């Protein structure tokens, strides 16, 4: 027996059977939808009854691919899909027709600096070295769309690093931005599963000025940490003036609906360097590996 090889498997792989199924002779039986292999039958998979299975698939697919890509942890970056690249900010103002449109465009132009900061932060995080197990740490993860999300993936791309994009199917088309690493570009049907994947590997989160989507993601994160469902991690709100203008955090304390200590769940920052310094200090003071940027390559 020592010189004989025992086969690893005795059943055909699903991929092989799927290929054979496509070659079946056409008969009234084989052409009926009931005859299709269950995992090749889209009408079956999209039934309301199969929602639990679709949940499982949408959770499992990105998890398997991220694990295969050696992603150990992520730096998640939330933010508006409307803040312009600074190079396009003036054109946005010029395109305004009414006084109101002009005022809004000028406010968006003023916030274009956060596009720059998001890009810088992604550059810094993407230079974080792998850990002793070869896992990639603080891989940039965005919603995969335009504006701040684009800036995040673009920053990683600037330094030749991979980055993740988690897109969502919307009534209007949302194409992944050009800087997302193709094999780390995912599309979700369920917002709940998308938000779960944002946080499963997150070890720091940066929230830039944004609207309903940013608020939804940020406040769910704060709730998870506040209630102890998720371990505490660095949460940075870029742009103190913006956040204090749109959310009266102190009033929530005064009204008694959150505790004063809940204001310590996040930190206001203005620049990428400030955020990374605080993130590095956070982990260094907890007896964990001190985060540092990889040394620049030596000149040829």
Residue 158 has what pLDDT? Answer: 98
Task: Give residues with Cβ within 8 angstroms of 174, minimum separation 6.
Answer: 144, 145, 167, 168
Is the per-residue pLDDT at 293 higher than 50? yes
Question: Where residue 286 falls among pLDDT bands split at 50, 70, 90?
Answer: confident
Is the per-residue pLDDT at 1 higher than 70? no
| C-alpha to C-alpha distance for 105 and 223, rounded to whole angstroms | 32
Cβ distance 265 to 235 under 8 Å? yes
Structural domain includes residue 24:
no
Residue 102 has what pLDDT? Answer: 96
Structural domain includes residue 3:
no
Phi/psi of residue 84, each to 5°?
-80, 155
Residue 48 has what pLDDT? Answer: 97
Percent of the chain clearing pLDDT 90 (strictly above): 87
Counting the structural domains of the chain, the total is 1
Is the per-residue pLDDT at 9 higher than 50? yes
Structural domain includes residue 23:
no
Structural domain includes residue 259:
yes
Structural domain includes residue 25:
no
Phi/psi of residue 14, each to 5°?
-60, -35
Structural domain includes residue 87:
yes
Span 50-99, pLDDT tens digits: 999 999 999 999 999 999 999 999 999 999 999 999 999 999 999 999 99
Structural domain includes residue 26:
no
Structural domain includes residue 297:
no
Tell me which residue has tokens 């086969």: 7
Span 240-267, pLDDT tens digits: 999 999 999 999 999 999 999 999 999 9
Tell me which residue has tokens 């720091």: 204
Host domain of residue 227: 54-284
- Supply the CATH number for residue 206's domain: 3.40.50.450
Residue 290 has what pLDDT? Answer: 47
Residue 295 has what pLDDT? Answer: 52
């Amino acid at each position: 027996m020592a010189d004989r090889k025992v086969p690893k498997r005795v059943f055909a792989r699903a991929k092989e059977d799927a290929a054979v199924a496509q070659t079946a002779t056409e008969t009234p039986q084989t052409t009926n939808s009931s005859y299709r292999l269950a995992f090749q039958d889209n009408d079956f998979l999209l039934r309301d009854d199969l929602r639990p299975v679709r949940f499982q698939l949408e959770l499992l697919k990105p998890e398997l691919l991220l694990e295969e890509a050696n992603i150990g942890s992520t730096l998640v970056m939330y933010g508006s899909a409307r803040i312009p690249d600074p190079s396009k900010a003036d054109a946005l103002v010029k395109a305004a027709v009414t006084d109101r449109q002009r005022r809004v465009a000028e406010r968006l132009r003023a916030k274009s600096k956060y596009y720059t900061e998001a890009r810088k932060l992604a550059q810094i995080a993407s230079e974080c070295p792998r850990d002793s197990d070869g896992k990639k740490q603080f891989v940039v993860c965005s919603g995969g769309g335009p504006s701040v999300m684009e800036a995040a993936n673009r920053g990683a791309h600037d330094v030749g690093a991979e980055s993740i994009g988690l897109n969502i199917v919307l009534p209007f088309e949302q194409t992944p931005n050009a800087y997302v690493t193709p094999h780390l570009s995912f599309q979700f049907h369920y917002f709940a599963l998308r938000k779960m994947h944002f946080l499963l590997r997150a070890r720091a989160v940066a929230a830039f000025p944004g609207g309903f989507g940013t608020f939804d993601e940020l406040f769910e994160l704060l709730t998870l940490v506040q209630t102890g469902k998720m371990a505490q991690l660095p949460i940075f709100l870029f742009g103190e003036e913006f956040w204090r203008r749109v959310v009266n955090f102190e009033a929530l304390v005064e009204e008694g609906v959150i505790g004063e200590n809940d204001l310590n769940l996040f930190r206001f920052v203005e620049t990428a360097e400030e955020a990374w310094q605080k993130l590095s200090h956070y982990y260094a003071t907890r007896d964990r590996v001190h985060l540092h940027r990889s040394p620049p390559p030596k000149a040829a």
